[in-house]
Chain A
């Protein structure tokens, strides 16, 4: 019997055949990071930015990957300049008077996407926590280590909402479970996701992107161009503020 480097030829050929077969099975059957339900590292306990799969229609941007939030243990921590700082769980959050609206989120990176959002206006939260007269804004601290500041003038705008439901489903981890903010007249970086804490503060505070990138503190959507994902990214003129035209 012929031998190749001390191994029988038949064993060697079977080995090669099995290896090739394994390679092709692996290539077609194993999930890649992108296929693995959108999670950032292919590890299901983590969430991060993605534009793959079902998120092609609504990109997901996070500052850092983070462990999925456990809704049973999560409590919204409310601190700072308010009479009644407290922690509120998801059951209580969902009892707050509901409001539903369709809004398009416009990212400062050109794209936009539209959804139906359900949540509550911050005025209902204010009945519980009673912000002090000194409070001028809120710093949101999020699960992805992202911070964002919004003045009360913007947060109390009739189109600003804190939302827990998107397109009639509870928010997915990717879109900000268990609670996110939408401020549709500002670029998306002013709509923080996966909120853990709200701190009422006096004066302006820099958010994460305003601190490290060329992103303005104000974040109002300016007249310019948009590339809506749900319309094949076809370039459209926008006139500034919330996009109502499509």
Chain B
């Protein structure tokens, strides 16, 4: 009996550490065109139609615990195991994805996973949520991934409009990389970002508000 328990534990540990079951679930995004780019009230549609083959994307942002599985020296406060990882450079995010046989999403892949094929402004539709995207405190307050039950895209992908911003593969302005989908701050008021919002960050910078997810 003891031997049987030992064998079960051994194989479950093997699966845990070697078969990357640290990595969270992925969502299948079907192939086909979608509307990418800005939609502004004053200027109307300013986007373009982009065709993408089918791909899979992480349902949740990569967590501290998952990241530590690949980068053992990554430290985080006790209790923050399932918080989105942050303070990672673009290169570290890219290496993490590659080690799992994945890659960082392109901006187009990220945006399609967030807005679907009907050009929605927010992952859940076109209306702003009444409730704020973030507690009224001046800095980043992180919660476990998927905590916000309303921040869900049509494909079931979570936290694409609030939570942390996410590195994507594309180069943006002045050699900076593009990041998508986190909270906008004005004084102590927080807004959900729109599916087409983008910010540009130097690839070697680390921020408390910046994490990532992977695709394959």
| Complex interface bits, A214-225 against B, C-beta within 8 A gives 1, otherwise 0 | 111111101111
Known: A215-B138, A216-B139, A218-B208. A223 touches B187 (CB 8 A): no
Interface of chain B: mostly helix, strand, loop or mixed: loop
| Residues of chain A within 8 A of B140, CB atoms compared | 216, 218, 220, 222
Are A215 and B139 neighbours in the complex by a CB distance under 8 Å? yes
Are B210 and A240 neighbours in the complex by a CB distance under 8 Å? yes
In the bound complex, what is the Cα–Cα distance between A222 and B141 (angstroms)? 11
Chain B nearest CB from A129 CB (Å) reads: 27
| Residues of chain B within 8 A of A215, CB atoms compared | 137-139
In the bound complex, what is the Cα–Cα distance between A218 and B140 (angstroms)? 8
Contact of B185 among A189, A222, A241 (CB under 8 A): A222
| Residues of chain B within 8 A of A237, CB atoms compared | 199
**Quick one: which of A216, A217, A223 has the most chain B CB within 10 A?**
A223
| Residues of chain A within 8 A of B200, CB atoms compared | 239
Report B172-216 residues with CB < 8 Å from chain A CB. 179, 182-188, 193, 199-201, 205, 207-210
| Complex interface bits, B111-155 against A, C-beta within 8 A gives 1, otherwise 0 | 000000000000000000000000011111100000000000000
Interface of chain A: mostly helix, strand, loop or mixed: loop
**B165 interface residue per 8 A CB criterion:** yes
Q: Which residue of B lies closest to A219 (CB)?
A: B139
**A102 interface residue per 8 A CB criterion:** no
| Residues of chain B within 8 A of A189, CB atoms compared | 138
Are B207 and A240 neighbours in the complex by a CB distance under 8 Å? yes
| Residues of chain A within 8 A of B137, CB atoms compared | 214-216
Count of interface residues, chain B, beta-carbon cutoff 8 Å: 24
In the bound complex, what is the Cα–Cα distance between A159 and B187 (angstroms)? 23
| Residues of chain A within 8 A of B201, CB atoms compared | 239-241
Q: Which residue of B lies closest to A217 (CB)?
A: B139
Are A223 and B199 neighbours in the complex by a CB distance under 8 Å? yes
Known: A239-B200, A240-B210, A241-B207. A224 touches B138 (CB 8 A): no
**A40 interface residue per 8 A CB criterion:** no
Are A222 and B199 neighbours in the complex by a CB distance under 8 Å? no
Are A216 and B138 neighbours in the complex by a CB distance under 8 Å? yes
Chain B nearest CB from A102 CB (Å) reads: 18
Q: Which residue of B lies closest to A226 (CB)?
A: B186
| Residues of chain B within 8 A of A110, CB atoms compared | 186-187
In the bound complex, what is the Cα–Cα distance between A216 and B187 (angstroms)? 12
| Residues of chain B within 8 A of A240, CB atoms compared | 165, 199, 201, 207, 209-210
Are A220 and B208 neighbours in the complex by a CB distance under 8 Å? yes
| Residues of chain A within 8 A of B187, CB atoms compared | 108-110
Chain B nearest CB from A191 CB (Å) reads: 14
In the bound complex, what is the Cα–Cα distance between A189 and B139 (angstroms)? 12
Are B186 and A224 neighbours in the complex by a CB distance under 8 Å? yes
Chain B nearest CB from A192 CB (Å) reads: 16
Are A224 and B185 neighbours in the complex by a CB distance under 8 Å? yes
| Residues of chain B within 8 A of A62, CB atoms compared | none
Are A241 and B183 neighbours in the complex by a CB distance under 8 Å? no
In the bound complex, what is the Cα–Cα distance between A217 and B140 (angstroms)? 10
Q: Which residue of B lies closest to A189 (CB)?
A: B138
Are A218 and B139 neighbours in the complex by a CB distance under 8 Å? yes
Q: Which residue of B lies closest to A235 (CB)?
A: B186
Are B188 and A214 neighbours in the complex by a CB distance under 8 Å? yes
| Residues of chain B within 8 A of A200, CB atoms compared | none
| Complex interface bits, A21-63 against B, C-beta within 8 A gives 1, otherwise 0 | 0000000000000000000000000000000000000000000
Knowing that A108-B187, A220-B207, A223-B184 touch, tell me 20 more A-B residue pairs with CB under 8 angstroms: A187-B138, A214-B137, A215-B138, A215-B139, A216-B141, A219-B138, A220-B140, A220-B209, A222-B139, A222-B140, A222-B184, A222-B185, A223-B182, A223-B183, A223-B185, A223-B199, A223-B209, A224-B184, A239-B200, A240-B210
Q: Which chain A residues have a beta carbon within 8 Å of chain B's beta carbons?
A: 108-110, 187, 189, 214-220, 222-225, 237, 239-241
Q: Can you list 20 A-B pairs, Cβ within 8 angstroms, ordered by A? A: A108-B138, A108-B187, A108-B188, A110-B186, A110-B187, A214-B138, A215-B138, A216-B139, A216-B141, A220-B209, A222-B185, A222-B209, A223-B182, A223-B185, A223-B199, A224-B184, A225-B184, A237-B199, A239-B179, A240-B207
